[in-house]
Structure 1
Amino acid sequence: MEFDRQRLLVVGGSRGVGRAIALAGAERGADVAILYRSRSEEAEAVLQAIRAKGRRAVAVQADLAAAEATSAAINAAAEALGGLSLMAHAAGAMGQWASVAEMSPLDWGRYIAVDLNGCFHALHAAIPHLRQAKGGAILAISSIAAQMCQARNAQGAAAKAGVEALIRVTAKEEARHGIRANALAIGLTQTDMAQTAFDAWGPETSARIIKGIPLQRIATAEEVAGVACFMMGPACSYLTGKVLQLDGGQIIAG
């Protein structure tokens, strides 16, 4: 129970990797708050699953692109749990698979507003609560897209590279407050976003990409959650300012 007496905020906790982190955190002893944008039924299902593990759970709703709404939601979550000591940022936008020349500026701006600006808004609101807890840990879910820079994925590459830089700066700034900050850059994982990519690539290309991964499969959300909790946990108490790649070897395969 390495998260005993910890209060975990999962941004984007109603589905996918965020949901898996919320449940894994509860299994490790944390009380959990999830922030979600629109999927209230899925959020309620996550709350019920957390409470079934004997932990307190609360859900708050906000659009990460809106700074004031995000701040109000995170403040409400902290009040409900009696503070925050851990934060996992697992939210992201559904991108438009298009070249830079073909992508609409409107879609570019919408994606950056949620994926990069939204991460800043969440950090800005959560850090004061972690300071009040006299330390804690932040973990942002990034993507190997930031290193791979695939064609037709300028949004993902740029946004996640920004998130990783933001995390490194946060680690440097908040270390004196006892707060660690790291990022987990994941490869293809069994989520709605991965399915969107597969739909854009088509079955033949998708199969070829998966076959090219050294482990020849994609990750499960639970595998990602396990590593995320490890990075936030006491075993990694000297780890900060780092980006760990969890991709089944996809990057080294070229």
Structure 2
Amino acid sequence: MSTLAGRVAIVTGASRGVGRGIALRLAADGAAVAVNYRRDGAAAGEVVKEITAGGGVAVGYRAAIDDEAATTAMVHAVRRDLGPVSIVVSNAGTASRGLDVVGTSREEYLSLLSVHALGPIGLLREALPDLRAAGRGDVVMISSNTVASAPAQAAPYTMAKAAMEIVVRTLAREERQHGIRANIVAPGLVATDMGSRLVRASAGATLGDLAESSPFGRVCTPEDVAGAVAWLVSADAGYVTGQKILVDGGGRDAAIF
């Protein structure tokens, strides 16, 4: 199926984990995909290789999301290589150090805000003319179900995600006159390298240990998250904007975090 044929998507943090799953899915649905990465060019190259081997179109772009000059240059390069951008998936992120609210430094709060909110705003600022001109533009932010549960020792991460959720919901109202849909996908624990480290650090367990007690007998996968993103940017979600989809099996992950 080529439901996204003719569209160009930027997926940040797409070299691994959830971002990789989203890039692969959007490419399978027909979009040309800009595979953004921060450091691991080899991993991003493997994503590009997998997409092109399947007949899709993808190019890797190195840019730290909290470096506005780098993200601006990336958008210019994507336009040159693939065409005007009509889908932006803000997925790149980093975890906080697991300290309590007052024990966390100002620098860590600012760093997490830069990665999860201020950096993505800069990316959107540069891509917005393309999104407006596309007729159908889509912004999807990958958040977390921890925004609702506010677990202990996670304030910088949760605060930064919450800040970007407000930005996306506001953008949805401001930009619908230009045909732009802006939505949020909020997974719980996902079977990724980051998810594995989190479970090991917080519960002394493995993802496999949690499978039986998880909803539907398994931990959420990147493909589960990618499916929600693919629906939001499809024609089937043409009247959906300013919404948040939880991809957590109905919830249970707050106890893990």
Q: If the TM-score is normalised by the length of the shorter chain, which range does it land in?
A: over 0.9
Per the alignment, residue 86 of structure 1 pairs with 87
Which stretch of structure 1 is more off in the superposition, 131-140 or 213-222? 213-222
Moved more, 201-210 or 2-11: 201-210
Give me the whole-angstrom Cα distance separating, in 2, the residues matched to 1:98 and 1:206: 23
1:123 and 1:150 map into 2 onto residues whose CA distance is 29
Moved more, 185-194 or 123-132: 123-132
Q: Is the Cα contact below 8 Å between 2:200 and 2:206 reproduced in 1? A: no
Q: Which amino acid aligns with 2:250?
A: G
1:151 and 2:152 equivalent?
yes
Aligned residues: 254
Please say if residues 215 and 249 of structure 2, whose CA atoms lie closer than 8 Å, have aligned partners that are also in contact.
Answer: yes
**Alignment-derived partner of residue 66 in structure 2:** 65
- Counterparts of 1:1-254 in structure 2, within 5 Å, are 1-203=2-204, 213-250=214-251
Q: Distance in 1 between matches of 2:207 and 2:23?
A: 29
- Relative to the length of structure 2, the TM-score reads 0.92
Asked if structure 1 preserves the Cα contact closer than 8 Å seen for 2:210 and 2:218, the reply is: no
Moved more, 192-201 or 44-53: 192-201
Identity %: 34
On the 8 A contact 1:212/1:253 being kept in 2, the answer is no
Measured in 1, the distance between the counterparts of 2:208 and 2:53 equals 38
Secondary structure at the aligned position of 1:180 is classed as: strand
Answer with 13-22 or 59-68: which moved more.
Answer: 59-68
Q: 2-side partners of 1:144 and 1:243: how far apart? A: 10
The separation in 2 between residues aligned to 1:79 and 1:177, in whole angstroms, is 23
Unaligned 5+ residue runs, structure 2? none
Q: Which amino acid aligns with 1:4?
A: A
C-alpha distance in 1 between matches for 2:33 and 2:106: 37
Counterparts of 1:24 and 1:40, CA distance in 2:
20
Provide TM-score, normalisation by structure 1.
0.93
- Contact 1:26/1:53 (8 A) holds in 2: no
Q: State the secondary structure of the residue aligned to 1:143.
A: coil
